């Protein structure tokens, strides 16, 4: 069992990052994708039930974002060049199974990290959030960028090992087992359930 400390829901936010149809396409369709969505759906319900905060991070671009994208950005310049991932496209909406509710935090980003191009950090601090439980696609993209950034901002971090996914299994495993543990507690959705209940 995890040695991670119990969670105080009043100071905890679950980050649900890039769970959008266009990004979920990286996860094999069918049973694997359904199971992943089911686990994150359960985590959201758990955190909600205990009065915690749900924060959604999605990637999407306006015409101005595309125009401002420098050609030197290896990851995002091609998206801008081909006008992919417009912020109003259904493919960039949060997946319907994980749909936000009133009172949730929702931010739109234009780079990998959940904080670097958004006011997510400010919104979390305004709510007294000091602990983040991280879920997202992909492990080597938004999860890696956000974990490193949030660790530098002194959040207490938990990464949901079964709430993150990556098309490269080897990279996913290296990050979970060798990179993230120096910055975050690695737990799964079952442990999250337990840690929310621990006093």
Where does residue 46 fall: left (phi above 0), alpha (psi -120 to 50 degrees), or beta otherwise?
alpha
Distance CA 55, CA 126 (A): 13
Q: Which long-range contacts (CB under 8 A, 24 or more apart) does 167-170 make?
A: 167/26, 167/27, 167/138, 168/140
| Burial of residue 98, with CB atoms counted within 10 A of its CB: 0-12 exposed, 13-18 middle, 19 or more buried | middle
Could you list the pLDDT tens digit for every one of the 199 residues in the chain?
457 899 999 999 999 999 999 999 999 999 999 999 999 999 999 999 999 999 999 999 999 999 999 999 999 999 999 999 999 999 999 999 999 999 999 999 999 999 999 999 999 999 999 999 999 999 999 999 999 999 999 999 999 999 999 999 999 999 999 999 999 999 999 999 999 976 5
Give, as one character, the DSSP assignment of residue 73: -
* Amino acid 197: pLDDT: 76
CA distance 173 to 64: 37
Structure confidence at residue 1 (pLDDT): 47
In this structure, the strands spanning 105-109 and 185-187 are: unpaired
Distance of CA 125 to the CA centre of its chain: 17
Whole-angstrom Cα distance, residue 23 to residue 91? 8
Contacts of 50 (CB under 8 A, 6+ apart): 9, 196, 197
């Amino acid at each position: 069992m995890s040695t991670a400390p119990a969670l105080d829901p009043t100071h905890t936010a679950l980050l649900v990052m890039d769970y959008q149809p266009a990004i979920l396409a990286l996860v094999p369709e069918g049973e694997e994708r359904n199971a992943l969505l089911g686990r994150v759906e359960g985590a959201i319900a758990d955190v909600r039930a205990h009065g915690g905060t749900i924060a959604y991070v999605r990637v999407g671009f306006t015409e101005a974002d595309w125009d401002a994208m420098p050609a030197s950005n290896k990851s995002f310049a091609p998206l801008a060049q081909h006008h992919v991932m417009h912020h109003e496209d259904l493919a960039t909406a949060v997946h319907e199974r994980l749909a936000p509710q009133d009172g949730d935090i929702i931010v739109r980003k234009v780079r990998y990290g959940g904080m670097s191009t958004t006011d997510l950090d400010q919104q979390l601090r305004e709510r007294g959030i000091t602990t983040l439980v991280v879920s997202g696609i992909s492990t080597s993209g938004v999860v890696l960028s956000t974990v490193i950034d949030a660790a530098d901002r002194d959040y207490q971090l938990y990464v949901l090992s079964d709430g993150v996914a990556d098309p490269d299994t080897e990279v996913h495993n290296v990050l979970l087992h060798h990179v993230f543990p120096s910055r975050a507690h690695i737990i799964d959705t079952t442990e999250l359930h337990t840690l929310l209940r621990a006093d």
